[in-house]
Structure 1
Amino acid sequence: MSFDAPTDMPIKPLLAVLHGAVAPVPPMWLMRQAGRYLPEYRALRADKGGFLELVYDSAAAAEVTVQPLRRFGFDGAILFSDILIVPYAMGQHLWFETGEGPRLAPILSETDLSALKPDFQRFEAVYETVRQVKAMLDPAVTFLGFAGSPWTIATYMVAGQGSKDQGAARRLAYGDPTRFAALIDAIIDATVTYLSGQIQAGVEAVQLFDSWAGSLSPLQFERWVIAPNAAIVRKLKALHPAIPVIGFPKGAGAKLADYAAGTGVDAIGVDETVDPHWANRVLPAGLPVQGNLDPLALIAGGQAVRDAVDNIRAAFADRPHIMNLGHGILPDTPIAHVEALLAYVREGETI
């Protein structure tokens, strides 16, 4: 891979790495960087009355997207939205129970997919958020869109909520693979529509979050993680060949290399359980990687986070690398620790 920026285009460090550049100082953003650890986010969410109300107020969602950039100066902005906007647009009702998380109805362990009435106009507020954020961003910042991967989205659609073992979806996938495949195919098509709309509105790269990829056996992983993500990449590249796609199969472990080879993603996110030196050995040469700092190390701060950063940078010294967490930033993360992480990565400063 190589990256040659047009002479009239501002240098975007993160986008350059996604195109294959090896940066002496890795660019950085953090998953869930626009979220509950920021007092300005908590204040705005309280004012809007709920999470979904915040997502669907495009001006407020744009404000949330840029809040961490104002405070920290990250190299990437991640769209503020939610992975469950896709099943919502596919026809399920979506709401958030205080202290318990999202709920979807009707649940597809009991109802056939044909009972849902898709309404892709439900994507429009998100596209408007993208347009508003795009107008606010510093030219050097890369704007990232995202969607959930089909397996992870299916687990919520089948059970109607999150679960510890994704048991309802796994049972349906084993017991009625034809019915489950129809659901996966519908999610693929909706996701391509959603991501294409984000790209048309202004995002410059997209990430596929497969948060529950680690719950599947190897054969099921091939069928319900690798194949659907490969289909999204293939369809999206046919529409937007220059847009990088980051795949993040959390919990993939030893299946990480198969995921990279089988999906055709342009970059791969590495969670905190993966040895970065092993990942560097098994992943395709030159494939950009992202991660894999433990969110709990960031909470601990100090020597713990410096040791982790040093280990990650040593592992990926000769590979395109984006510094990021191995999963989302946690709500009790001290802001001072994020500031110290940035200073250490960018300037070697110890605070």
Structure 2
Amino acid sequence: MPGLLLDTLNGKRGVRVPMWLMRQAGRYLPEYRALREEKGGFLDMAYDSEAACEITLQPIDRFGFDGAILFSDILIVPHAMGQHLEFLAGEGPKLSPTLIDATLDSLTSDPSRYEHIYQTVRLCRERLPEGVTMLGFAGSPWTVATYMVAGEGSRDQHDARALAYRDPGALQAIIDAIVAQTVEYLSGQIEAGAEAVQLFDSWAGSLAPDEFERWVIAPNAAITAAIRERHPDTPVIGFPKGAGEKLPAYARETGVKAVGVDETLDPAWVARELPAGMAVQGNLDPLLLLAGSAELEKRIRTILDTFADRPHVFNLGHGIDRRTPIEHVHRLIETVRGFEG
């Protein structure tokens, strides 16, 4: 039976607003920290299907969210494409060789790396409570490309943006390769049991409008069209963080079923500007959830009221902060579940 979250993503408004949180399986949970201490580094856990499944299910067991987001990372794709991937304490992920210093042709791909992720999805689908939607995901091509080009994250994505201006053909080749890989990767997740998938474009906000059209909208439209052709019943959520006024064009042109909205956007503007009937996901500020002030419940209710006339999945504007107190998450859940619009 489809769950409330899956129905909402497909455009139906139910008796209550479903919810899940980006990065809900992570470091703010003591059970996650205990397992990580036992198992080792992040990448080791992502490729350990039993551990990754346990982590995916931890927030479902604790909070009863309507969706379980796969525990993995957007950089699994470049790792499978042949870049070396490591997570360094205090520094974050590192890819090598960078595509400033090497070409795609010089990389030796290893698609078997995806199999660990597919097995995690299989295990989770077997163990999830009835009605909880299994969510897969991948990074969007622009965001993944920024890491592949520079070898690491940066505040302004300077290297990838400069390459786009200096040699757009070179960046286009990288984007096209990521699109092809992402279609196969998401298809594999869906075949393993993912019921919906999200495309994370964490660095979409760094691009000028015409560059946004080429490097964000066009690649995401290509992925969404391919997934729709192969898996017509599987909704795609697009999350172009920082898109700002470009969000309506993204919603219209990519073909996604639902749009994730970050915390910088006014919900009233989003409700007015997005296509009628399109599902919206978001958009509480993760730092407000961390702070847990008197403003928290007020803001939650404002978001719920504003999206009351369209399908709405309650979520954060980005990932939950690792310092977030558990009791604040409980307050969030109680407020959303107690809402009567």
TM-score range, shorter chain: over 0.9
Is 2:87 the partner of 1:96? yes
Residue 18 of structure 2 aligns with an amino acid whose one-letter code is P
Contact conserved, 2:289 with 2:328, CA < 8 A, in 1?
yes
- Residue 121 of structure 1 corresponds to 112
Distance 2:90 2:291 in 1: 25
Following superposition, the deviation at residue 23 of structure 1 comes to 2.7
Contact conserved, 2:146 with 2:159, CA < 8 A, in 1?
yes
Following superposition, the deviation at residue 302 of structure 1 comes to 4.2
Is 2:138 the partner of 1:147? yes
Instruction: Say which is worse superposed, 22-31 or 182-191, in terms of deviation.
Output: 22-31
Contact conserved, 1:165 with 1:215, CA < 8 A, in 2?
yes
- Residue 214 of structure 1 corresponds to 205
SS at match of 2:315: coil
Distance 2:225 2:199 in 1: 13
Percent sequence identity is 63
Per-residue CA shift, 1:270-311, capped at 9, x if unaligned? 000000000000000000000000001111224211111111
Distance 2:102 2:163 in 1: 12
Is 2:148 the partner of 1:157? yes
Residue 165 of structure 1 aligns with an amino acid whose one-letter code is D
SS at match of 2:316: coil
Distance 2:126 2:13 in 1: 28
SS at match of 1:68: helix
Residue 147 of structure 1 aligns with an amino acid whose one-letter code is A
Distance 2:338 2:208 in 1: 42
- Out of 225, 233, 244, the residue aligned to residue 242 of structure 1 is 233
- Residue 43 of structure 1 corresponds to 34
Distance 1:113 1:172 in 2: 15
Contact conserved, 1:23 with 1:321, CA < 8 A, in 2?
no
Distance 2:329 2:113 in 1: 34
Is 2:184 the partner of 1:193? yes
Runs of 4+, deviation exceeding 6 Å: none
Per-residue CA shift, 1:111-149, capped at 9, x if unaligned? 111111111111000000011111100111001000000
Contact conserved, 1:34 with 1:67, CA < 8 A, in 2?
yes
Residue 135 of structure 2 aligns with an amino acid whose one-letter code is L
Residue 321 of structure 2 aligns with an amino acid whose one-letter code is L
Following superposition, the deviation at residue 224 of structure 1 comes to 0.1
Distance 2:14 2:316 in 1: 18
Is 2:101 the partner of 1:110? yes
Residue 286 of structure 2 aligns with an amino acid whose one-letter code is P
Is 2:6 the partner of 1:15? yes
Distance 1:16 1:128 in 2: 25
Per-residue CA shift, 1:52-105, capped at 9, x if unaligned? 001011000000000000100000000000000000001100001111100000
Rate the CA distance shift 1:225–1:257 in 2: closer, same or farther, 3 A.
Answer: same
1:262-273 equivalent positions in 2, closer than 5 A = 262-273=253-264
Q: Which runs of 5+ in 1 are unaligned?
A: 1-8
Residue 194 of structure 2 aligns with an amino acid whose one-letter code is V
Residue 335 of structure 1 aligns with an amino acid whose one-letter code is I
Residue 263 of structure 1 aligns with an amino acid whose one-letter code is T
Is 2:62 the partner of 1:59? no
Rate the CA distance shift 1:262–1:158 in 2: closer, same or farther, 3 A.
Answer: same
TM-score, reference length from structure 2: 0.98
Is 2:322 the partner of 1:331? yes
Residue 141 of structure 2 aligns with an amino acid whose one-letter code is P
- Residue 62 of structure 2 corresponds to 71
Is 2:174 the partner of 1:170? no
Per-residue CA shift, 1:169-189, capped at 9, x if unaligned? 001111000111000000000
Is 2:299 the partner of 1:301? no
Instruction: Say which is worse superposed, 107-116 or 192-201, in terms of deviation.
Output: 107-116
Count of residue correspondences: 340
SS at match of 1:323: strand
Distance 2:252 2:100 in 1: 32
- Out of 237, 244, 251, the residue aligned to residue 253 of structure 1 is 244
Distance 1:313 1:43 in 2: 34
Distance 2:261 2:38 in 1: 35
Contact conserved, 2:301 with 2:339, CA < 8 A, in 1?
no
Residue 60 of structure 1 aligns with an amino acid whose one-letter code is A
Q: Which runs of 5+ in 2 are unaligned?
A: none
